[in-house]
Structure 1
């Protein structure tokens, strides 16, 4: 359906692709992987025709429809979320908007004299809407938005009032409703909670078209794709299987290529030593010349392209007492909405609690209460006397001084540390080379999150409160964080929608439900086994 043939592409001084080739066949579900900046978004844009390769050809079979979801959702205003989603299907949304206007006019006393004309016009528009299966589209749009976490009020409300994350979901719903022949999804798992993520996973597994997607969520990718295309060093390499199989195959191929490289290097060294030793002797001239020609004809084995991996080591955190945080008889409401009524909860040393609950259950509120960012209406929150807390929340990124560089921000935070360890810290969190001189104002949301986390973990507290710490982190950085936190000996309380992160780090589960608080002694994996669900209210 889609073929990339010997494409080359250069953006400024960066060479993105060099004679790279790949194909997407009918019904295939492919995961596109590669380090940040490797060219994943550029590849999507070339397939849609938004960019052209410098050399080579991108061809799409005649009549193939493509739906492209990107992180740039554009402007959304003047419509409800439902109409914005239906808008992607074409004229149906215009008819729906016309019907809504006519319905409003028919209910307006000032338009009573025009009622016959309004009724006639409404009949025409409604008939055309029905012909185009508009009522079914409305139902499907609502089903998709519901799966992505929208309440009925949000579906019918002004889309302009939604946050950026919710607008992303609207843009994603628009592509899902289209059901094109090919879906190109650039990080569709961003901005989704666990329930929505699992719903999307099931939707895409049932999608019968072709799919090419990127995702920083390895579990999400594992369950959907049957093939991986890797971008690395300007080339495209295909691997059959899911993401885990790709990692294993890549590791095996790397070992084999390294062995081939070393064998060839040993042979070359031996041949070169012979040439150097006997090149001045007339008696060996023929042998030397023969070996020189042989070396010129050899296809050189390249060393494997090693993906840069970083490792972050925690400094030992000071030991806390056994009681880290205690919440007693907590009551908390927002207006008429009651979040907690008499909640009791305790966190002890070395416990790692992941907090589960549907949207609105109070997960972030609980973390804010524990962190002291919010006060209970009634009850008490107490932390142990030797507890030193680190709190990561999305709003923490707003405190960055836009005029300071990444390095200056870290130097301001740790004036005694010296540049070498701070540069190493920045490198672990994705700021290498000139990136450490970036001003904070130009950092993306993900880069800001990494920088705030780097500061928090350099001088580690003995109690970490983390609200969605993996948002925007790529797979490699997530893995580095998981490995670092797995060696961390303090207590943790966290919310995450990343199932790999949940399974790797939790040893306790706190589930917030309408009928109260439930605790589970094991981690997330045990929670899934015991409840039969990966998220509250969803059966696996």
Structure 2
């Protein structure tokens, strides 16, 4: 269906692909993985024809329709979200626009002489529109938008007034409604809450076309794909199976390659030692020459390419008292909308609460109240006297000064620390060597998130309040954060839409619903088992 044959590609000085090959068959669901900057977006753009390979060829079977969702959604304004989504379908939306023009022409007295032609054309267009099931399109568009979390008001409102994250959802809905033969999805799980993520997962599982997708959500990828294509060092390698199978196979292949490399290195060392020892002796000249020729012909085994990973190291946090945070009879409203009315809630030492609830249930509001970033209208919020808090807010990355470097940002926060400890801190969070001189304005979302975490954890808190801390982190960095937080001994209160993160770190669940607050002992995995749902309002 889609074939990449011996492709080569260079962007400036960076070699992206070298004689790389892969295929996507009809109906296959494929996960595309590789470190940041490996060339995943370049590969998508070559498949769509937006970029051409320098060598080799990318071919697509005749008549195959491709839908491409990228993180660059472009301008949207001047029409409703529903109309914007329907516009992506192609022929149906074009026919709908022509029908509207013809209907206007039928009511125009100045066009009375052309009425027979107008009516005839209207009949043709209406027939094609009906054949393409155009009358059901509006309903299908609303169904997709509803699945992605839109209210009817948002569907009918001007798309230009939506935030960047909601515009991303509109762009994604366009591709889903289009139902092409192949969907290319570049991080479709970004900007989605857990309910929308699960809806999208089920939609894609039921889609009968082919999918090539990237995602930083390993659980999401595991449930959809049956094949992995890895980009690493300019090569494309295919693995049959989901993301977990790929990780296992890659680890096995690394061990085998390392063993092969070491065996060959030992053999080479022996051969070179023999040559060095006897090269001056005429009696051994033939043997020496024979071994030199043998070494020239040998295929060298390369050591395995080890993907660079961030290694988080948290200093031990000082012990807090038993009572970490207490909310008593708390009320909070925004305008006429009541979020909380008489809320009682307590976090105790070593408890790790994940907060769950549909959009607007008050998850971020609760974290703001606990962190002191927002005041209750009534009631009290208190933290224990020995509690030292670290708060990761959704907007924290926007507060970084774009003109300051990574190192200067850390120096601003810790002026007494000295450069050596701060460079070591930056290194723990993936900023090695000259990367500490990068200005904040050029950092990726993931790099900004790591920098904010570095600031938060340098002077270790014993209570972490985290609002979507993994939103911009890739799978490998997310895993390192999970491993570090699993060793953390303080209390935690957090919101996340990443089910792997929720399952790995929570030991309590606070569910916010329209009929009140429900607390569950045990973590997210136990919550799913007890309720039969992966998120409030959804049945498993």
Q: Same fold (TM over 0.5)?
A: yes
How far residue 423 of structure 1 moved from its aligned partner, in angstroms, is 2.8
The answer to whether the 8 A contact 2:311-2:429 is kept is no
SS of 2:312 mapped into structure 1: coil
Aligned counterparts, 1:193-204, within 5 A? 193-204=193-204
Change beyond 3 A, Cα 1:114–1:330: farther
SS of 1:338 mapped into structure 2: strand
| In structure 2, C-alpha distance between the alignment counterparts of 1:516 and 1:176, rounded to whole Å | 34
SS of 1:332 mapped into structure 2: strand
Change beyond 3 A, Cα 1:118–1:535: farther
After TM superposition, the structure 1 stretch with the greater mean CA deviation from structure 2, 335-344 or 250-259, is 335-344
Change beyond 3 A, Cα 1:389–1:121: farther
The answer to whether the 8 A contact 1:329-1:380 is kept is yes
How far residue 424 of structure 1 moved from its aligned partner, in angstroms, is 3.4
How far residue 252 of structure 1 moved from its aligned partner, in angstroms, is 0.5
| In structure 2, C-alpha distance between the alignment counterparts of 1:119 and 1:331, rounded to whole Å | 62
Change beyond 3 A, Cα 1:264–1:148: same
Change beyond 3 A, Cα 1:133–1:348: same
How far residue 229 of structure 1 moved from its aligned partner, in angstroms, is 0.8
How far residue 307 of structure 1 moved from its aligned partner, in angstroms, is 1.0
Change beyond 3 A, Cα 1:211–1:110: same
How far residue 250 of structure 1 moved from its aligned partner, in angstroms, is 0.5
Cα distance per residue 1:149-183 (max 9 Å; x no partner) = 11111111110011000000000010011111111
Change beyond 3 A, Cα 1:99–1:448: farther
How far residue 402 of structure 1 moved from its aligned partner, in angstroms, is 1.6
Cα distance per residue 1:436-488 (max 9 Å; x no partner) = 22211232333322211221122221111111000010011101111111111
Change beyond 3 A, Cα 1:3–1:126: closer
The answer to whether the 8 A contact 2:313-2:428 is kept is no
Cα distance per residue 1:251-287 (max 9 Å; x no partner) = 1000001001101110110011011101111111111
| In structure 2, C-alpha distance between the alignment counterparts of 1:104 and 1:156, rounded to whole Å | 23
| In structure 2, C-alpha distance between the alignment counterparts of 1:285 and 1:470, rounded to whole Å | 64
SS of 2:88 mapped into structure 1: helix
How far residue 55 of structure 1 moved from its aligned partner, in angstroms, is 1.0
> Is 2:486 the counterpart of 1:486?
yes
Aligned to 2:19: 19
| In structure 1, C-alpha distance between the alignment counterparts of 2:493 and 2:271, rounded to whole Å | 61
> Is 2:522 the counterpart of 1:522?
yes
SS of 2:395 mapped into structure 1: helix
The answer to whether the 8 A contact 1:33-1:230 is kept is yes
The answer to whether the 8 A contact 2:3-2:21 is kept is yes
| In structure 1, C-alpha distance between the alignment counterparts of 2:527 and 2:249, rounded to whole Å | 31
The answer to whether the 8 A contact 1:331-1:339 is kept is yes
SS of 2:58 mapped into structure 1: strand
How far residue 132 of structure 1 moved from its aligned partner, in angstroms, is 3.9
Change beyond 3 A, Cα 1:128–1:229: closer
The answer to whether the 8 A contact 1:83-1:96 is kept is no
Aligned to 2:215: 215
How far residue 317 of structure 1 moved from its aligned partner, in angstroms, is 1.2
SS of 2:20 mapped into structure 1: strand
How far residue 101 of structure 1 moved from its aligned partner, in angstroms, is 9.4
Aligned to 2:71: 71
The answer to whether the 8 A contact 2:311-2:430 is kept is no
How far residue 13 of structure 1 moved from its aligned partner, in angstroms, is 1.2
| In structure 1, C-alpha distance between the alignment counterparts of 2:330 and 2:191, rounded to whole Å | 29
The answer to whether the 8 A contact 1:312-1:425 is kept is no
Aligned to 1:335: 335
| In structure 2, C-alpha distance between the alignment counterparts of 1:295 and 1:419, rounded to whole Å | 48
Cα distance per residue 1:14-70 (max 9 Å; x no partner) = 111111111111111111101000110011111111111111111111111110000
TM-score by length of 1: 0.94
Change beyond 3 A, Cα 1:10–1:209: same
Change beyond 3 A, Cα 1:356–1:22: same
The answer to whether the 8 A contact 2:309-2:430 is kept is no
| In structure 2, C-alpha distance between the alignment counterparts of 1:424 and 1:358, rounded to whole Å | 40
How far residue 139 of structure 1 moved from its aligned partner, in angstroms, is 1.0
After TM superposition, the structure 1 stretch with the greater mean CA deviation from structure 2, 421-430 or 336-345, is 421-430
Gaps of 5+ in 1: none
| In structure 1, C-alpha distance between the alignment counterparts of 2:98 and 2:319, rounded to whole Å | 66
How far residue 289 of structure 1 moved from its aligned partner, in angstroms, is 0.9
After TM superposition, the structure 1 stretch with the greater mean CA deviation from structure 2, 89-98 or 412-421, is 89-98
| In structure 1, C-alpha distance between the alignment counterparts of 2:493 and 2:86, rounded to whole Å | 40
How many equivalent residue pairs? 540
Aligned to 1:272: 272
The answer to whether the 8 A contact 1:394-1:449 is kept is no
Cα distance per residue 1:82-114 (max 9 Å; x no partner) = 111111112433555678899999999999999
Change beyond 3 A, Cα 1:206–1:178: same
| In structure 2, C-alpha distance between the alignment counterparts of 1:106 and 1:453, rounded to whole Å | 64
Change beyond 3 A, Cα 1:293–1:399: same
| In structure 2, C-alpha distance between the alignment counterparts of 1:366 and 1:97, rounded to whole Å | 46
The answer to whether the 8 A contact 1:83-1:97 is kept is no
Aligned counterparts, 1:46-57, within 5 A? 46-57=46-57
Change beyond 3 A, Cα 1:328–1:134: same
| In structure 1, C-alpha distance between the alignment counterparts of 2:113 and 2:377, rounded to whole Å | 55
Aligned to 2:160: 160
The answer to whether the 8 A contact 1:81-1:157 is kept is yes
Gaps of 5+ in 2: none
How far residue 428 of structure 1 moved from its aligned partner, in angstroms, is 3.5
How far residue 376 of structure 1 moved from its aligned partner, in angstroms, is 1.4
TM-score by length of 2: 0.94
Change beyond 3 A, Cα 1:423–1:7: farther
Aligned to 2:176: 176
How far residue 320 of structure 1 moved from its aligned partner, in angstroms, is 1.1
After TM superposition, the structure 1 stretch with the greater mean CA deviation from structure 2, 20-29 or 434-443, is 434-443
Give the superposed CA RMSD: 3.0
The answer to whether the 8 A contact 1:470-1:498 is kept is yes
SS of 2:538 mapped into structure 1: coil
Cα distance per residue 1:219-269 (max 9 Å; x no partner) = 001111111111111111111111111111101000001001101110110
Change beyond 3 A, Cα 1:373–1:107: farther
Change beyond 3 A, Cα 1:54–1:353: same
How far residue 133 of structure 1 moved from its aligned partner, in angstroms, is 2.1
After TM superposition, the structure 1 stretch with the greater mean CA deviation from structure 2, 391-400 or 54-63, is 391-400
| In structure 2, C-alpha distance between the alignment counterparts of 1:460 and 1:100, rounded to whole Å | 63
